[in-house]
A and B are shown apart, each in its own frame.
Chain A
Amino acid sequence: MEASQQEFLQHLLNGVTLGSIYALIALGYTMVYGILQLINFAHSEVYMMGAFAAYYTGRSLNLDQSPGVLSFIILLVAAIVACSVLGLTIERLAYRPLRKAPKLNILITAIGVSLLLQYSAQIIFGAEPKLFPEVLADRTLFTVAEVEVRTLDITIFLVGTLAMGGLHFLIHHTRLGMAMRAVSVNGPVASLMGINVDRIIMWTFVVGSSLAAVGSVLVGLKYPKIDPLMGMLIGIKAFVAAVLGGIGSLPGAMLGGIFLGLSEEMVVAYLSSTYRDALAFGILIVVLLFRPAGLMGTPVREKV
C-alpha cells in the first residue's frame, strides 16, 4: 500500500475519533435546544468540570497507580455524577426562573453562567494545566493495512458509540424518552397531557450533562492536559456540530460531530494547522447563511 494512502486512512481514523467526541458534546447542546430552544452556553463548562471531577477523583484514589478498565469506569462515574449535579443546579438556579422571560435574557444568562464557571474554575483549580490520570495505557492494539489502531482510539469510538446507542434507546424505547420527545414538540400541550415538564427538563439536563461527562473523560485520556479554559473551544466546535446537523436533531448532532472531526483532521493534514480553529466558524457561518436548519433539521416558520 502506498504511504499516502496509508496516511489518509490514519487521518480518517483520527478524524472519526475526534468527531465522536464532538458528537457526544453536541448531543447535550441539541437536547437542551430541542426542549428549551436555548443555546446552553454553559454546557462547555459542564464538560470542563467533568474533566476536573475525574481528575480529582483519580488523584485522591491514586488511580494512575492501578490502571485498568475498573479505574476508567470509576472516572466515568465520578464525572457523570458531578456533571449531572452541576447541570441540574444550573437549570434550577439560572434557567428555571427565566422560563417565561424573553429569549435574549435567557441567552445572556447562559453566557453569564458559562463565564462564572470558567473564571471560578480558574480561581479554584488554578489556571495552569493539570495532567489527567493515565488509567488506560495507549498501546497499539493491532494494525490493519499498516494503519495503527490504538487502545484509546478504540475505547473512544466504542464508548462514544455505546453512549449514543444508549441515548437512542432512551429516546425511542422508554417512557422518559417519549415524554422528552413530546415536550420538545410542544411543551404546553405535553403538560396538558399530564407530563411533568419541569421533571423532563431536569432529566434532559442530566442526560446531556452525562454525555458531556463521558466526553470529558475520553478527552482527558486522549489529550491529558486539562485546564479551566478547555471547554471553550471544544464547546464552540460541538455547538457548530449541532448546528451543522440541524439543532434539535439527535442523529444530526452525531453526523455533524463526525463530519466536523473529519474535516478538521483533513484540513490540518493537508492544508495548514492555523486554519484548524477558523474552520469551525467558517462552517458555522456557511451553514447558518445557506441552510440554517442544518443537514437534518426541519425549518421553522414563524406563525403570523
Chain B
Amino acid sequence: MTDQHARGLFLRSMPSPFLVTAALILLGLVIENSTNAYTQDVVLWIFTNIILAASLNLVSGFTGQFSLGHAGFMAVGAYLSAWCSFRPEFQALPDLLRFTLLPAIGGLGAAIAGYIVGLPSLRLRGDYLAIVTLGFGEIIRVTLLNTEAVGGARGLNRIPATEGWLEMGLSPYLAQFSIASFWTVVTITTLWRIVHSQKGRIFLSVREDEIAAEAMGVNVTQAKVRAFVISAFFAGVGGSLFAHSVKYLSPATFSFTKSVDIIIMIVLGGMGSFTGSVIAAIFITLVPEFVLRPLQEITKVDLRMVIYSLILILFMIMRPTGLLGTREWSDFAWVKKLMRAISQLLKRGSDGDSSSSTSPSGASR
C-alpha cells in the first residue's frame, strides 16, 4: 500500500465519528422537545449502559475473561468524577470543559483500579477469575462504604451537573445529552477500531487458545491486562456519566446485581458483538422503565430480576450465542449490499477515487 493511499483512508475514516455525534445531538433535540423529563433521563441511561456493556464485552466477549466485578470499576469512575466535581479547583473551569473532561478522569481512576485488579488475578482462569473479580468488586464497594470523604453509607448527594452551554444554544439537558453521546461514540469507536485491527485479533486469540497464542509469540498476560485496563477505563467513563445524570451516588448502587445487569446485556446481545451490546443495552434500559414498571404498578410485585435471571438461564440453554453471536451489523448480507450501493453512488459522484479498502464498514464506524 502506498503512503498516499494510506493517507487517503485515514482522511476518510476521520469524519464519521463526528457525523454520528452530530446526528445523535440532533436526535437529542428531538427528544427534548417531544418527550417528558422522565423519558429524557431514561435516554441518558441508555448511553451509560451502552458504554458499560460494550466495555465489558471487550473483556468477556472478545478476550474470553469472565469478570463479575464490572460495577466496581463503574463505581470508581462515578465516585472519582463526582468527588472531583465538588472540588473548587474544578469548579473554576468553564462548564463545557469541566463536564466533558470529568468522564476521562473517572475513566483514568477506574483504569488504574483495573490495572491493580488485573495484574495479579489474570493468572487465574475461568470460574476462579470470576470469583476473584467478584471479590474485588465487593471490596471496592465496602471501601466506598467506609470512606467518609465520599459520604460513606449515606452516599453523595446533589452532585453538580452541567448548567447548559447557552453561548452554543444548548439547554442543560442537551448539554448533558451531548456529553453522553460524545463519550458513547468515543467508546464504541475506540473499542471497535481496536478489535477490528490486526493487533486487536490478539484479544481473540487469547479467547480461542491461550497456549497456542503464547507459542505464536503473543504476550497473553499483557493482552489480558490491556483488555482489563481499557475495559475498566470505559466502565469508569460510564460511571461518571451516571453520576452526573442521576446526581446521587450510594455504594449500594454498585453491588453484584449491577454487574449482573451488565452481564445480562452482553449475554443477550452476544458475547463478541458490539452491535449486540448496543441493541441489548437499549432494550435492557427501556424494558424495565416502560414495561416492567407499569407492570409492577398493577401486580405490586417487582419482577425485574426474576425476568432477567430467567432470560440468562433460557438464553444459556437455548441460544448461548445471544441475539447476534459474534456478528456485527456490518456482517449481515443486506447491510453489505446497502453499503456497496451507497459507495457506488458516492463513486459515481466523485469520479475515480479508488476504494479497494477491505473493510470500509469497519473503518467508518
**A→B interface (CB under 8 Å):** 38-39, 94, 97-98, 101-109, 111-116, 118-120, 122-123, 239, 243, 274, 277-278, 281-282, 284-285, 288-289, 292, 302, 304
Contacts and interface: CB of A to CB of B under 8 A. Distances in A.
Given A239-B131, A243-B131, A103 B126 contact: yes
Nearest to B130: A107
Contacts of B136: 285
Contacts of B132: 284-285, 288-289
29 contacts: A39-B130, A39-B131, A97-B317, A104-B66, A106-B316, A107-B66, A108-B267, A111-B260, A111-B312, A112-B309, A112-B311, A112-B312, A112-B316, A114-B309, A115-B312, A116-B309, A116-B310, A119-B306, A122-B302, A123-B301, A123-B306, A278-B138, A285-B121, A285-B132, A289-B120, A289-B121, A289-B132, A292-B128, A302-B211
Interface of B (DSSP majority class) = helix
Contact of A104 (B126, B142, B303): B126
Interface string B52-84: 000000000000101010000000000000000
B164 interface: no
A17 B263 CA distance: 37
Interface string B115-156: 000001101101110111001101100100010000000000
B248 interface: no
Contacts of B124: 288-289, 292
B200 interface: no
Contacts of A116: 306, 309-310, 313
- Classify the interface of chain A: helix, strand, loop or mixed: helix
Given A101-B316, A274-B146, A281-B135, A113 B309 contact: yes
B142 A94 contact: no
Interface residues of B, number: 38
Most buried by A among B68, B131, B142, B310: B131
A120 B307 CA distance: 10
Given A105-B320, A109-B313, A278 B128 contact: no
A153 to B, nearest CB: 29
Contacts of A122: 302
A112 B123 CA distance: 26
Nearest to A285: B135
Contacts of B146: 274
Nearest to A282: B139
Contacts of B310: 112, 116
